[in-house]
């Protein structure tokens, strides 16, 4: 659901303080892949950004042609550049799942989300899911906006739906863990963060969240 661990922005959500940037990803980065500057003036979300990486790294052709198991395996490598490229390509695949029109609408919603126009973003995601009810990334983004609106039970349900459709979605596992933390379900949260780390082990933020859960459990 979330990513970006710089911690420069914080928002109080319940009894804990999380970096806003960490809450606007998986809830990974709320920007669409390649979308660097928000532009929400156009009714259709503005021009579609050129295809690029989620992190800004130029991807080699072998990763753009790689299958999903190869990309997931790359997330576990020691090479951070390879991991970033694989992460970027996975986001591209997830955004592209339902075709260019659905992607454009998803990007528009994530742009609204990135500038905290939560009600409008939620409406975009719900309209998109009306035509594509099995679009995992749209469920993931709806989970993100519901979480940021403090609707933690609803966000949790959307995380679970994302994972039903895509059980390797590391962002959804992170988001599920964050929802469970807000609900006080620390054992369930720890299990979710463990699942996220099994897919994407080089993620300090998830290790930090897992440690917090274990402290609460013990």
Give the pLDDT confidence score for residue 1 in this predicted structure. 66
pLDDT in tens, 8-27: 222 322 233 344 444 544 44
Give the pLDDT confidence score for residue 65 in this predicted structure. 84
Give the pLDDT confidence score for residue 41 in this predicted structure. 42
Give the pLDDT confidence score for residue 63 in this predicted structure. 80
Task: Please indicate, yes or no, if residue 4 is contained in any of the structural domains.
Answer: no
CATH of the domain at 20: 1.25.40.10
Task: Please indicate, yes or no, if residue 160 is contained in any of the structural domains.
Answer: yes
C-alpha–C-alpha distance, residues 119 and 211, integer Å: 33
Task: Please indicate, yes or no, if residue 52 is contained in any of the structural domains.
Answer: yes
Give the pLDDT confidence score for residue 98 in this predicted structure. 97
Domain count, the chain: 1
Give the pLDDT confidence score for residue 62 in this predicted structure. 64
Retrieve residue 28's tokens. Answer: 């990974």
Task: Please indicate, yes or no, if residue 84 is contained in any of the structural domains.
Answer: yes
Give the pLDDT confidence score for residue 8 in this predicted structure. 26
H or E stretch including 18?
A: strand 16-19
Task: Output the CA angle 67-4-33, nearest 5 degrees.
Answer: 45
* Domain containing residue 17: 10-217
Task: Please indicate, yes or no, if residue 186 is contained in any of the structural domains.
Answer: yes
Task: Please indicate, yes or no, if residue 3 is contained in any of the structural domains.
Answer: no
The reported pTM is 0.78
Give the residue ranges of the chain where pLDDT is below 50. 3-22, 24-32, 34-61
Task: Please indicate, yes or no, if residue 1 is contained in any of the structural domains.
Answer: no
Determine the number of helices (DSSP H) and then strands (DSSP E) in the chain: 11, 2
Task: Please indicate, yes or no, if residue 2 is contained in any of the structural domains.
Answer: no
Query: Could you tell me where the beta strands, DSSP code E, fall in 72-126?
Result: none
C-alpha–C-alpha distance, residues 79 and 66, integer Å: 17
């Amino acid at each position: 659901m979330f990513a970006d661990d710089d911690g420069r922005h914080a928002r109080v959500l319940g009894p804990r303080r999380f970096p806003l940037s960490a809450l606007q990803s998986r809830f990974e980065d709320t920007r669409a892949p390649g979308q660097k500057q928000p532009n929400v003036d156009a009714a259709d979300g503005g021009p579609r950004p050129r295809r690029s990486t989620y992190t800004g790294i130029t991807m080699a052709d072998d990763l753009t042609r790689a299958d999903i198991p190869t990309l997931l395996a790359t997330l576990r490598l020691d090479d951070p550049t390879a991991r970033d490229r694989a992460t970027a390509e996975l986001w591209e695949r997830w955004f592209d799942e339902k075709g260019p029109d659905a992607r454009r609408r998803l990007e528009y919603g994530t742009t609204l989300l990135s500038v905290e126009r939560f009600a409008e973003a939620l409406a975009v995601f719900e309209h998109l899911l009306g035509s594509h009810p099995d679009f995992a990334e749209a469920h993931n983004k709806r989970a993100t906006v519901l979480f940021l609106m403090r609707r933690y039970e609803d966000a949790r349900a959307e995380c679970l739906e994302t994972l039903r459709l895509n059980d390797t979605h590391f962002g959804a596992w992170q988001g599920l863990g964050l929802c469970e933390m807000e609900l006080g379900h620390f054992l369930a949260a720890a299990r979710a963060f463990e699942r996220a780390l099994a897919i994407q082990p080089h993620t300090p933020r998830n290790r930090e969240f897992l440690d917090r859960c274990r402290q609460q459990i013990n």
